[in-house]
């Protein structure tokens, strides 16, 4: 639960950082008159944006694979090109959009199955407790 909150806060921070990069680029672009300087500013903003996006992709991949591991959900094989792609700026691989959707679907299915089992057990216990309470009330009356 704590890791979930930390991950969401970090993602929020990273998305805000991407917005700041875009805002700073647009402000700088209006101040620059030379086409060469505009190109350099665009390249710098694009590089910074790619670095932040790389960190976002890594964070999402780590978060989903950790959740899948805790639930004993199989993580897609790293050799599957449809599910994984190499990181641009850091070592390792990250899930593609298709891989993220697929892993989230698997996690949801497992969570739903666990929840259904828990609800079934809880309703059964509630029924048994209610029946026992009724029996005790009948015997106490006599």
What's the length of the chain? Answer: 142
Report d(CA 67, CA 75) in Å as an integer: 10
The stretches of the chain forming alpha helices (DSSP H) are 2-31, 35-70, 97-141
Position 8 confidence tier, pLDDT thresholds 50, 70, 90: very high
- CA-nearest of 21, 86, 22, 83 to 54 is 86
Tally Cβ neighbours within 10 Å of residue 63: 17
Judge whether residue 1 has pLDDT over 80: no
How much is the pTM?
0.76
Rg for the chain (alpha carbons), in Å? 26
pLDDT tens digits along 81-119: 899 999 888 888 999 999 999 999 999 999 999 888 889
């Amino acid at each position: 639960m704590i890791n979930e909150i930390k991950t969401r806060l970090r993602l929020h921070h990273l998305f805000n950082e991407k917005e700041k990069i875009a805002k700073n680029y647009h402000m700088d672009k209006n101040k620059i008159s030379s086409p060469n300087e505009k190109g350099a500013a665009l390249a710098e903003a694009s590089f910074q944006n790619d670095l932040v996006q790389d960190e976002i992709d890594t964070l999402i991949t780590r978060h989903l694979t950790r959740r899948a591991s805790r639930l004993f959900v199989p993580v897609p094989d790293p050799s599957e090109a449809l599910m994984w792609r190499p990181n641009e700026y850091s070592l390792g691989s990250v899930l593609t959009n298709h891989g993220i959707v697929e892993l989230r679907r698997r996690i949801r299915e497992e969570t739903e199955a666990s929840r259904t089992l828990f609800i079934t057990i809880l309703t059964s216990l509630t029924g048994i407790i209610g029946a026992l309470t009724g029996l005790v009330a009948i015997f106490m009356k006599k």
